Amino acid sequence: MKKINTAQLKQLVEAAIFVADKPISKQHLKDTVLNEFTVADRTLSKVLNELKLDYQPRGIQLVEVASGYRFQSLDALSPWLSKLWQENAPKYSRAMLETLALIAYRQPITRGEIEQVRGVAVSSNIIKTLTERDWVKVVGHKEVPGRPALYATTKGFLDYFSMTSLSDLPNADAFENMAKSVASDSPLKVLNEAPSK
């Protein structure tokens, strides 16, 4: 096994993550571009942390998602960067987002359980779309008559929403605070608080 100094290791790791077409894990780095070198896990983690710090003040960042590490632009820059692409971002129906949220927060969950919470039938197109996007997969079958499929989110879901694990999902308190914030900024509240003449 060859030795590699820290500066060279940092360059190689940075370049590998940059050219990779999907997030790359530490293990995948070690099995591919670093397989000829002796690199301790601690050294690799240190280099990755240094790269994160190097990119922190820039327009792109090194982030860790469920599948590994990738470079991505700052969220704050998206209104301007989106002009580079002519196509519009896909719009998702409320039904699809509700279904995805129920799967994310209550997984594993059956289609029937989703329908029970939502109070309406779940279109097979919604499940198909979520599966095709690699956001949801069947992880088993419930041991009840009919053995319905149990759905759960995938690493693709976590990667798309820039999360490393499901613990990164906002909790109920965050939703309540958002709702209060939106309500406090609503035009109706402004009208109601306007002084009467």
Do residues 8 and 44 make contact, with C-beta atoms less than 8 angstroms apart? no
Q: What is the CATH number of the domain that holds 29?
A: 1.10.10.10
pTM: 0.68
CA–CA gap between residue 155 and residue 164 (Å, rounded): 9
Domains contained in the chain, number: 2
Q: Where is the domain boundary, 45, 79, 113?
A: 79
Number of Cα atoms under 13 Å in the Cβ half of residue 142: 15
Instruction: Give, for all 197 residues of the chain, the pLDDT tens digit.
Output: 788 889 999 999 999 999 999 999 999 999 999 999 989 999 999 999 999 999 999 999 999 999 999 999 998 898 888 888 766 667 888 899 999 999 999 999 999 999 999 889 898 899 999 999 999 999 999 998 889 999 999 999 999 888 999 988 888 676 667 666 655 554 444 444 444 43
Cβ contacts of 2 within 8 Å, gap of 6 or more: 36, 37, 38
* 54 and 22 belong to one structural domain: yes
Domain coverage including residue 118: 94-168
Residues 32 and 58 in one domain: yes
What is the Cα–Cα distance from 197 to 194, expressed in whole angstroms? 9
pLDDT for 93-134, tens place per residue?
889 999 999 999 999 999 999 999 988 989 889 999 999 999
Rg value, the chain, Cα: 22
Q: Is the domain of 125 the same as that of 150?
A: yes
